[in-house]
Amino acid sequence: SIVPRVMGVGLRRGEMGLLLRFVLAVYVSCAPIIDIPGQGKVEGGSSGLCEYFLGIPYATQPTGVNRWREPIPHPGWSNTLNASVFGPICPQVLPAWRTLVSTKMDEACLNVNIFRPIGASNMPVLVWIHGGDFIQGGANDLETFGCDWVEQTRSGLVVTIQYRLGVLGGLGGSELRGLSREGTSGAWGLQDQIRALEWISQYIGTFGGDSSRVTIAGESAGAASVSNILIAPSARGLFHRAVMQSGAFAPWAAKNETNSQAQYAEFVEATGCVGYSNDNETLACLRGVNSTQAVKLAYWMETFADTWTSSQWSPTTDPQVLPISPYDAILSLQLDFIADVPIIAGVNQEEGSLFATENQFTDSNWLSTELSPGGLFTWLTNNFPDNAVALNQTYGRVSEVTKWAWDRQSWGIAQQIVGDLGFTCPTNRALRVLSAARESNSSTFLTRRESPAFAYVFLAWVDEYPQYGACHGCEVRYVFHSELLKNNSQLALADTITTFWANFLSNGSPGGEWRPYGLNDPFHISLNVQDHRRYLSGVRKRGRLRGDACKLWDRIQGFPESKLLGNNTVAPSGSSQDDDELDEGIIAIVVGSVVLVVICAVAGTCYRYRKSISCCGYGFYGAQRLREDSVMSVEMGGSVAENELPSESIDPNYLSAREPPHAAEAKVKSARPKEGIASPQAQGVPAAGSTNPTVQQVKEENQAETSGDTRTRTSQAETSGD
């Protein structure tokens, strides 16, 4: 893939490309300096045709008496701020993601990083919120290095933000509410995100950004954060479009106050801050706990532990900050809570491959990839006792795992169920509801929406981890056109995605043939690379994401489908969109069968009877395969062509032997005891006074041996000794 560079000269990414971008920095400009009105001067750096300003504080740091309080505006600084290196990441349990530039942690972590084309003026702004289950991650990630996106598109600014994580970002309770400045509790990380948006709205114009074209975007917990911001009343007007990658309106995006209160009680006991006479004294004790110890203790808490549908340290619903969870807003059709802005929402095909555990608590053991059909039904019975039979029947009929999971069909079905439950079907439901509100003329919805929603399914895997399929998080490097991408076909897909995203930032539509999702036209686009042969590249799709499977989850979770069916925009009974597409699939089957019969006849003429019989036998098999794929296309948005696996064999032990790229978010805990918290240095945190490396140093170090998307906690294989 040839990427345009200076004065139209083309350079191949990698090889000379990375070297040139730093050489150009010497000639293009000296270190850029920006004077931010009311804040102070910042001195950044440059990389090729991109300038960056890193670690700029957007709020007074949440240390001391500011811990577990709402963020407040930063008063500014008098000396020029060195903005050429990333600031520290927020406190979290290590090991952190391996693509982070540094794991230096500090509670004083509320900062933004700004990336812009040289000479930027009035350009749209992409605000990226990192994922990590609300407990890990950071804005100093090489996979989301903003200059990669800026140099590729040259049509906008990228801002990456940091926010409080774990117990420091999600601890709630009436005790904290009573002592906070504004009477809020348990949504500190979300309030950090909103404060960052306020800072961006006020100051991004100084960097050449257009504060009237701000797009909030994120993946996983970042996408859930975008969903929460869409609900938050105080965030209205601070953004104008939204992108949610694998986490739109998810059930785990927020927790309620009852769960938050129980967490507070357990945390007080875990820290030993018990027996005080009033809440002020208890809070003073809690604020005296070292931040590293605090997140470590909270990591092992059992109250409201992570499951496939809950995230332990997600924000707490709060009357002022988050009046309703995004999931409940969709489920109850209370769309007046949701900001009316254009949306892109999508999922990856194998969302559940990193989360398939033996039970719904995600700290349990990995589910064996050698799961038998009987073992699958036992797993279903243990985890879904009231719906095991229905799930077994539905997924046995619509599953495509025979085309993906090699000989691991039962495990493939299990991971598919987990992915649908936590990611795909909530996104499916939200797209249908938001589209119905846009198209409806009935009284079903209190508020009619004007803005469109666009849907996608990401189908490509990453080279390092083909055994996980198009796994959770696999798309991030493509969205940013990251230097971690290895070959031309991957870069071509990244070209397509960044063009879509850049168009959306600019005018609220991805452009091309990607049209909005609608009830009568449930259109979604598939994103894949050409050399992954199980799908055609760039094939456009129609039909509800995961069709029958998500219909079943709607029934299980009590979604009032009848209210949507009451809309006059929905196809009349007996002629639903799915039925129409099934008819198209049947026609394709008939045509394909006729073609195969003709081929067989020709083969019989040329090779006489023996080979003709062989040919017709293959033709029968091919027609059956075509039928299965056509049904899969209708029900799941899959392709009807070339759903095949890589030709090379896969070691049966390969899956358990390798670490999944986003296992950090899968939150598989080792069997270590809660006691004996290691010192920060023992956990890999640099000692006081150590500094972060420069972007150039890290990129040069990673150029030769980039391991790709290997952010992970200790893998199950490592911790169990298998």
Residue 336 is predicted with a pLDDT of: 93
Confidence label for 500 from pLDDT (cuts 50, 70 and 90): very high
Of the two residues 502 and 618, the one the predictor is more confident about is 502
Boundary (domain end) residue, out of 256, 290, 322 = 322
**Whether residue 532 sits in one domain with residue 444:** yes
DSSP assignments along 259-304, one per residue: HHHHHHHHHHHHHT--S-SSHHHHHHHHHTS-HHHHHHHHHT--TT
3-class DSSP assignment, residue 208:
coil
In a domain, residue 184? The reply is yes
pLDDT of residue 637: 31
Phi, psi of 155 (to 5 degrees): -135, 15
Same domain, 17 and 150: no
Kindly state the average pLDDT of the residues 385-407. 71
* pLDDT of the residue at 364: 79
pLDDT digits (tens, 9 = 90+) for 189-243: 999 999 999 999 999 999 999 999 999 999 999 999 999 999 999 999 999 999 9
pLDDT at 616: 33
pTM score of the predicted model: 0.78
Segment holding 214, helix H or strand E = strand 209-219
Q: Do 201 and 91 share a structural domain? A: yes
Same domain, 26 and 52: no
- Assess whether 139 and 233 both reside in one domain: yes
CB-based contact 220:664 (threshold 8 Å): no
In this structure, is residue 721 part of a structural domain? no
Residues with active-site annotation: 220, 351
Res 585 pLDDT > 80: no
Statement to judge: residues 404 and 516 lie in one domain: yes
Rounded alpha-carbon distances, angstroms, from residue 76 to 56, 79, 194, 389: 10, 10, 19, 61
Is pLDDT of 648 > 80?
no
Position 592 scores a pLDDT of 53
Least confident interval from 11-25, 380-394, 475-489, 666-680: 666-680
Q: Which of 304, 320, 89, 97 is nearest to 190 (CA)?
A: 320
Q: What is the mean pLDDT of residues 602-606?
A: 47
Query: In the structure, what pLDDT confidence band is assigned to residue 566 with cuts at 50, 70 and 90?
Result: low
The tokens for 219 are 């993946």
pLDDT of residue 297: 95
**Statement to judge: residues 546 and 442 lie in one domain:** yes
Round the CA-based radius of gyration of the chain to a whole number and report it.
26
Amino acid at 312: Q
Q: In what order do the strands lie in the sheet with 523-527?
A: 45-47, 50-57, 111-117, 157-161, 123-129, 209-219, 241-245, 343-348, 453-458, 523-527, 540-542
Query: Which residue range is the domain that position 132 belongs to?
Result: 32-322
Q: Are residues 475 and 550 in the same domain?
A: yes
Would you say residue 238 lies in a domain?
yes
Residue 680 counted as domain residue:
no
* Helix%, strand%, coil% for the chain, nearest 5: 40, 15, 45
List the structure tokens of 299: 């990591």
Judge if 224 and 362 occupy the same domain: no
**Beta-strand runs (E) in 519-615:** 523-527, 540-542
Judge if 15 and 59 occupy the same domain: no
What are the tens digits of pLDDT across the range 127-163? 999 999 999 999 999 999 999 999 999 999 999 999 9
Q: Is residue 600 part of a domain?
A: no
pLDDT digits (tens, 9 = 90+) for 687-703: 333 344 444 544 454 44
Percent over 90 (pLDDT), the chain: 56
Determine, yes or no, domain membership for 80.
Answer: yes
Looking at residue 363, what is its pLDDT? 74
Q: Is 334 exposed, middle or buried (0-12, 13-18, 19+ CB in 10 A)?
A: middle
pLDDT at residue 108 tops 60: yes
Widest pairwise Cα distance in the chain: 96
pLDDT at 467 over 60: yes
The pairing of strands 45-47 and 50-57 is antiparallel
**Residue 89: which of 101, 74, 67, 104 has the closest Cα?**
104
Kindly report the CATH number assigned to the domain that includes residue 252. 3.40.50.1820
Interhelix angle 373-383/409-419, rounded to 10 degrees, is 20
Judge whether residue 57 has pLDDT over 90: yes
Question: For residues 494 and 472, what is the distance between their CA atoms, to the nearest angstrom?
Answer: 17
**Domain final residue pick, 292, 322, 352:** 322
Q: Where are the beta strands (DSSP E) in 500-597?
A: 523-527, 540-542
* Measured distance CA(416)–CA(418) in Å, rounded: 5
Tell me what the mean pLDDT of segment 606-611 comes to. 38
Quick check: 599 pLDDT over 60? no
Q: What is the pLDDT of residue 634?
A: 26
Share of the chain above pLDDT 70, in %: 69
Distances (CA, A) of 273 to 22, 280, 539, 581: 52, 11, 58, 61
What span, in angstroms and rounded, lies between the C-alpha atoms of 601 and 616?
Answer: 8
Predicted confidence band at 615 (pLDDT cuts at 50, 70, 90)?
very low
3-state SS of 103-158? CCECCCCCEEEEEEECCCCCEEEEEEECCCCCCCCCCCEHHHCHHHHHHHHCCCEE
How many angstroms separate the Cα of 62 from the Cα of each of 71, 169, 293, 559? 7, 10, 16, 40
Q: Are residues 301 and 422 in the same domain?
A: no
Mean pLDDT of 568-594: 41
Phi-psi region of 32 (alpha: psi -120 to 50; beta: other; left: phi over 0): beta
Report the DSSP beta bridge partners of residue 2. 12
Mean pLDDT across the stretch 363-389?
A: 91
Quickly state the pLDDT bin for 11 (edges 50, 70, 90): very low
Tell me the pLDDT band of 565, cut-offs 50, 70 and 90. Answer: low
How confident is residue 442, by pLDDT bands cut at 50, 70 and 90?
low
346's CB contacts (< 8 A; 6+ apart) are 244, 245, 246, 248, 427, 455, 456, 457, 458, 524
Mean of all residue pLDDT scores within the chain: 77
Residue 203 is assigned to a structural domain of this protein: yes
Integer Cα distance of 76 and 175 in angstroms = 31
pLDDT at 371 over 50: yes
Residue 169, SS3? Answer: helix
User: Helix (H, G, I), strand (E, B), or coil: what is residue 211?
Assistant: strand
| Least confident residue range of 268-282, 314-328, 510-524 | 510-524
CA–CA dist 248, 722 (Å, integer)? 35
Q: What is the tally of structural domains in the chain?
A: 3
pLDDT band at 446 (very low <50, low <70, confident <90, very high): low
CA distance 295 to 315: 16
Q: Is residue 717 part of a domain?
A: no
422 and 518 together in one domain: yes
pLDDT category at 530 given cuts 50, 70, 90 is low
- State yes or no: pLDDT of 376 exceeds 50: yes
